Structure formats: structure tokens, C-alpha cells
Chain A
């Protein structure tokens, strides 16, 4: 019996290894795109994930949209005026229609914005004073009358926003789904809570409309919206999304011709690179996601009070070989990062240079240097009077890459820093979030996706009152710079603000509040007959408006 079993297994091996066939992607006439995860919500007030934002942006246009270079260009707004002090924006809307024939009016924006603030879901924060600074947004989020929100519609084609402070990147913010309109009349005509749960309960004014969708659907069909204001420039009749969670599955479905656009990672990328035929279809796009290690510096933290020591943090940060992580385990084109703001992100409006262009800027505190790391560790041991550090590293294992990264970090840190032990603790996303937000960790692997194209989307994370992933680090000078740059004196002085942000980043990294690891990337296989998919680092990930099928 064992013989038979072995023969079967051998046969299986032979079939698998013998069939490394490289069928190139078939010329499927219909565009099928892989979606890495479920769409959680089509309601722009509830959406929190990349997939939802992408689908909403396919179907609804905002005031502005991103062009292929990631610059904000007008969409529903034909043009806009900014007041002298930069605190009032007046958008002039073009003639556009919802799919039910209603015109898109300024009231649709007023309704949506008020509703978002009132609902106070996760992303309502972008209306508030750390980001868009819409007047009274924070008060409305806390329960004030939504009518006090600084938005108004003097006539159906004019939408006016008042801000608490000048926001240099305000137009590019308008490309973000949270700022999109909702048709108030339609919203009130359907059953409560059913908005966006089916093609019938969702209204689009954008390039595409839902053809088939149910919540949690693995397959979503979109059709071209003929009443779209720019319908003449949309060349596909529609396309479909298929949710695929495994990179291996994605690769096979691409080879099979079932899908035309798939994202792959790690081993699959290497496999494709070794295949002459397939590698022609491989493209990489920066995703703007910063992976970093967060250090919990609460001295009262029950198992890691030690991390409140800056030298221990510096030691760990300098003991990690980021190049090795990126080249061996992430592989999809990600870039090792030595700054608190990811590379290829947030270009300066005047010089066009990316904020983190100079990766060596903070090399005295963030680098891979074992001897320096050990010096830091020796100092930490002396200051803390302890020789052994048992640290817990928590991570959410929803993908293969983070699992590999944490293992590599564990191996590197334990090898380079004698006496430091790292215990890995994987957990589902919700549990992970509850741990990082409730002070229940030592080290955490965090990935942060920028919501808008400005360094501030990262730098506000580490203010005392900032994001809920609290490192328990507080620095008055840092808080002051961030406050000055958002609502304070520096807000309307572009150059001074830019330089101040570097100062803030320096404070952050000198104190090793975090250990940046790498900037994420998307490795994508695209069939040769598909062109014009635009990838962006901030806000909406992918845009299909200009996609063409040969």
C-alpha cells in the first residue's frame, strides 16, 4: 500500500514539475481585473479600505480627479477659485448627471459632506483639522449641528468650502472618495441602511455604473455609464472585478487568461522574472505604503518598559538589514526606506522633488550598521541595568509578506543584538488593531497607506493627540511644528512649512519613535492588450477611466 501511495505522490510531482507550461495570457475580449480583498462598503462615509475606495471612484466622480501623473485636475468642478487667504474655495460645477437623470448639484456635495461628519466613521477625520480643515468639521463630528459645517451651495452649480486654515494640498484632497457627492433625493428614497448594497440602491455619476454587485461579492461587474459627462473618452464597455486572495492563484488565473490584470507578490514575482515570456507583462508601481516597526514607549507597559529607552530603540532600528528584507522577502519592487515618509511620495509643488528623495538624510540614526547597533545596545544595557530583553512583536497576518518580514526581522535582530529576544505574535486584523490601539504590545509591524499626497498624512501619526496607534511618545517641539504647519503660522508659507516638516521628521527619527522598513510596491501583471491603467500612491489606488483594450 505504501508503494502505491508513493507512486501516486511521485506521479503528482512529475505532473507538476513537468507542466511548467508558460501559456501566455489569452486575448480575452473582456477586461477582468483582480481585486486583492473584498469591497467592504460602497458608501463613501463607511469605506475604509483600498478596494472600496477604488470601486467608488470607478462609479462616482468627485470635484477633482488625478491625472496619470498623480496631479489633481478638474472632474465635476469645471474650475475653482481660492480666496486671498487660502481659506475659501469656490468650485464651479459642470453639467453632469446621475444615472437616474438627476443633475449633479452643489447640494449633493453639501449633503454628503455633512452626512460624513455627522456619521463620524473612521474616515471622517479627513474633514477635520489635521487634514482638510473644513470649518467646524471637528465640532460636527463630535455631535454639533451639521448645518454649521463650513460648506454651502449658493446656487446649484456653485459649491463653497470654508476652511479653518489654508491647506496647500486641498485640491488634491478632493480626489479622495470621502469628498464625493451623494444624491440626497435618491438616498432618502431608498430603505434606510440599504444605500450601496446593490446596483438598484446605488447611483453613479462617474465613468462606470454597477451591473452586478452584492455585498461581499467575489465577482463585481461594471458597465460603462453612457450619461457620464466625459463618456466620449471612455473606451471600454465595462469590466469586471474578481476577488483573489492568493498570489499563487492570481498568477495561474493570469496564465490561464481568466484575468487580465493581477497583483502578485514574493515568490510569484521571482517566478515571473525567470520566465522570459511572462516577465514582459510585469510592471511595478510604488504603492506609497510605509512599513515600519512601532515601538511602544509607555514606561508602564507591563512587558517592555525597556523600550522607553531611546538607545534600545536605536539599536533595534540599526540592526535591521532593510535591503535584505526587500531583496529577499518582499521582492515585488519595494524600496528600503530610512525616513519616516516613504520614498516616491509627496513631491514638492515647486521643485518636483519627492519629500524623502534623500534617503541618507538621517543615516546617523537610521541605517544598517551592526557595530553601531551594538554600541547603542551596550548603552541601553548600562542605562537599564538589564542584559536580556524579551520583546513581543505583534503583526496582523493577512498576507504572506508580513509573515516573512517579521521572521526575517526576528532572525536579524537576534543575531545582531545578543540578549534581545523577539517573540512573534500573529493575530487577525481586528485583534491586532485592538492591541496596537490599547497599549498592549512591545513592537508592532505597521503599514500605513497615505490618504493624501502630503508628508502630513504620515507625520500627524506621531503627535501626542494623533492616530490611535499610540507609541506613547510625546514631544512638545514635534507637536508644535505639526500644529504650526496645519492650522498655525506656517500653513500658508509653502517653503517654510516644507522645511519645518523635515525638522519634525528629524526629531522623530533621532528619538527612534519608529523604525521605518520599506516603501511598498505593487507588482502587477497586465495583459499586453490592456493599456491605460493608472496607479497612484495616495487616495485612489487605480484608475480605469483611460483604460483601453486592444
Chain B
């Protein structure tokens, strides 16, 4: 197991390296200059590109970038926030997005699992139908529309929550965005839980357990949930990453200074700030790869059959 995990981590680092290279090349193909050009003459643009080292061969640029990354820096922005060092700014944004993201994951997973389990146990009855509707509505309404609804009713009609995000009043002002963000997670998780549970509940060994006299919560927890969890974990892992990496529209509406907004600013501003896009993408990828790594290891813990399979392979 340790050897497998070590190998897996090594692979992940290698993957991250390749990703960095691919992103590095792709971002340089993107249309748009890395700095605002509206009022610049052609000469000034050339001069500026030279200053940023953009006229060097791409491999040389990449080597420079990697050596900078390895020294623990993401460099400076090319235009955003007057070319200040990226790391502190990005960290601050990441923390904001993380806080909201963690809240919505907790909320989404708890409610989603609960709805899914209740629906599966009451299959075909009224509660099942209600759960289905709740989970379908969740995927029908875009989270930002839901966010506006919440904002309209709970900070305008009934001024209960602050109208905009306020870091000094974190808990009260993060409920609405995390609630709207968790909507999609709730419905995805609920539906998957229900389907997987039904599948497992119908399997022979559960029937055997039932025949042995196990019933109720004990049966669900010991025999059903454990087996139903594998595909659910597959759904949750990418959800976690996408929730942690911020929601561009909601962050914009609610005034949260998070990474989603930072990414939009870096791409859709006056210029494409290469270094911000690159730094953010690398961090997102690292998160994603990390999540996949954890997922694979979790697989082994939850389902011994998979561990066996990898040993053979």
C-alpha cells in the first residue's frame, strides 16, 4: 500500500509538471496581450514584450518560469494590480473561496446524502417523490439565479443577511452564497446516493443480511452505505474541487474577493494577465490532482476489491 501511494504521488508530481508546461504554452497562444494596449504604440508594445521576456524562445521562458516556481514564487502580474507579487494576493483570494467552498461542501454533502438515503429507503412513496423534485429543482435553477432570489428576499425584502459579502461578518454573510453554491452538489449527491443505494439494496448479499435478520439503520450503515459510497465519492471529489475553486458569477454578484473573480479579472480584463492565469490554473490543477489522489487512495480503503486489483495490475 505505501509503495502504491508513493508511486501515485510521484506520478501526480510528474503530471503537474506536464500540466504546467501545457498551460504555459496554451496561455501564450491565447488571443489578447498580457497588458493593456489600447493607448500604446506598436513600438511601446514591442518594448513591453521584451521587458517581460516574451520574445525569448518559449522553452527558455518555461525554464525561467519553472526555476521561479521552484524557488517558491509565482512571480509578478503582468498588468493586474500593478504587477505586484502574485502569491499573497492569490492566497488571500483562495482563503475567501475556500471558506465559502467548505461551507457549501459540508452543507451539500450532508443534505444530499440525507435526501438520497431517505428517498432510497422510501422508494416509490411520497417522500421519494418529494426528494426527487428537490433534487431536480437543484439542477434546473442556475446557482446564480438562486443567489439573486436569496439576496432579493433575505437581504432586501426581509433584511436579515447583509446585502454584500462582508469579511468582518463572515458567518452571516457567507450563508447565502454557500447555500446557493451547494444546490448543485445537493442534487447531484442526492440522486447518485439514491440510485446507488437502490442498486446495492437489491444485491444478493443485502438480501442475505436481511434474511439473517438484520434490518433498519444497522443494515443500511453496515451493508448498503459502504458499497454505495464508491460511486458517490467519485461525484463528490470533483465537486469539492469545483466548489473550492470559487464560483465566478456568485463571487461577482455578492462581492466576494475570491479566486473565481480573480480568474475572470485575469482573463477578461484589459489584458490577459498571463502570470495570474498560469498561477491560478496551476493551483487549481494541483487541487484537482490532489483530490484524485485522495480519491484513489480512498477507493482502496472503502472497497478492498480495488486494492486487490491494483496489486495484480
Chain A positions within 8 Å of B, measured between CB atoms, are 1, 4-5, 8, 12, 15, 19, 21, 38, 40-43, 45-49, 120-125, 141-143, 191, 193-197, 214-219, 242-246, 248-249, 252-253, 255-256, 258, 398, 427-431, 433-435, 437, 465, 467-469
A245 touches B256 (CB 8 A): no
Q: Which residue of B lies closest to A196 (CB)?
A: B82
B255 touches A430 (CB 8 A): no
Chain B positions within 8 Å of A, measured between CB atoms, are 30-33, 35-45, 47-48, 76, 79-85, 88-89, 92-93, 129, 132-133, 137, 148-149, 151-153, 155-157, 159, 162-167, 252-253, 255-257, 261-262, 265, 267-272
17 A-B pairs (CB sep. < 8 Å): A5-B137, A46-B82, A123-B39, A124-B44, A125-B40, A125-B44, A141-B44, A197-B82, A197-B84, A216-B89, A218-B256, A219-B165, A219-B167, A244-B164, A246-B253, A258-B162, A468-B45
Question: What is the CB-to-nearest-CB distance from A238 to chain B, in angstroms, rounded to a whole number?
Answer: 15
CA distance A326 to B268 in the complex (A): 27
B267 touches A40 (CB 8 A): no
Contact of A433 among B33, B41, B80 (CB under 8 A): B33
CA distance A247 to B148 in the complex (A): 13
Q: Which residue of A lies closest to B85 (CB)?
A: A193
A430 touches B81 (CB 8 A): no
Contact of B163 among A120, A122, A248, A256 (CB under 8 A): A256
* Contacting residues, chain B, for A40 (C-beta < 8 A): 79-82, 269-270
A46 touches B268 (CB 8 A): no
* Contacting residues, chain A, for B155 (C-beta < 8 A): 256, 258
A465 touches B271 (CB 8 A): no
- A120-B89 in contact given A430-B32, A434-B33 (Cβ < 8 Å): no
Contact of A218 among B44, B163, B165 (CB under 8 A): B165
- A428-B267 in contact given A46-B82, A122-B39, A245-B253 (Cβ < 8 Å): yes
Question: What is the CB-to-nearest-CB distance from A433 to chain B, in angstroms, rounded to a whole number?
Answer: 6
B156 touches A122 (CB 8 A): no
Contact of B268 among A12, A242, A430, A469 (CB under 8 A): A430
B81 touches A215 (CB 8 A): yes
A428 touches B268 (CB 8 A): yes
CA distance A253 to B165 in the complex (A): 13
Question: What is the CB-to-nearest-CB distance from B32 to chain A, in angstroms, rounded to a whole number?
Answer: 3
The 4 closest A-B pairs by CB, nearest first: A430-B32, A218-B255, A215-B81, A41-B82
A125 touches B268 (CB 8 A): no
Question: What is the CB-to-nearest-CB distance from B17 to chain A, in angstroms, rounded to a whole number?
Answer: 27
* Contacting residues, chain A, for B79 (C-beta < 8 A): 40, 46
- A468-B39 in contact given A197-B84, A214-B257 (Cβ < 8 Å): yes
Residue from the set B40, B41, B82, B261 with the largest chain A CB neighbour count within 10 Å: B82
B83 touches A434 (CB 8 A): no
A433 touches B32 (CB 8 A): yes
CA distance A191 to B83 in the complex (A): 12
Contact of A193 among B44, B76, B133, B137 (CB under 8 A): B76
* Contacting residues, chain A, for B40 (C-beta < 8 A): 122, 125, 468
B35 touches A21 (CB 8 A): no
* Contacting residues, chain A, for B152 (C-beta < 8 A): 252
CA distance A219 to B32 in the complex (A): 28
- A38-B82 in contact given A437-B37, A468-B39 (Cβ < 8 Å): no
Question: What is the CB-to-nearest-CB distance from A138 to chain B, in angstroms, rounded to a whole number?
Answer: 10
A430 touches B272 (CB 8 A): yes
* Contacting residues, chain A, for B255 (C-beta < 8 A): 218-219, 242-244
**What 11 additional pairs, Cβ within 8 angstroms, besides A46-B82, A143-B47, A468-B37?**
A42-B82, A48-B270, A123-B39, A196-B82, A197-B82, A197-B84, A246-B253, A249-B148, A252-B163, A253-B164, A433-B38
A430 touches B265 (CB 8 A): no
A215 touches B38 (CB 8 A): no
Contact of A465 among B41, B48, B151 (CB under 8 A): B41
A195 touches B82 (CB 8 A): yes
CA distance A253 to B161 in the complex (A): 13
CA distance A217 to B256 in the complex (A): 8
Q: Which residue of B lies closest to A195 (CB)?
A: B82
Q: Which residue of B lies closest to A249 (CB)?
A: B253
Question: What is the CB-to-nearest-CB distance from B273 to chain A, in angstroms, rounded to a whole number?
Answer: 9
B85 touches A258 (CB 8 A): no
Q: Which residue of A lies closest to B271 (CB)?
A: A430
B89 touches A214 (CB 8 A): yes
Question: What is the CB-to-nearest-CB distance from B251 to chain A, in angstroms, rounded to a whole number?
Answer: 8
Q: Which residue of A lies closest to B83 (CB)?
A: A193
B157 touches A21 (CB 8 A): yes
B81 touches A122 (CB 8 A): no
* Contacting residues, chain A, for B43 (C-beta < 8 A): 142
* Contacting residues, chain B, for A45 (C-beta < 8 A): 82
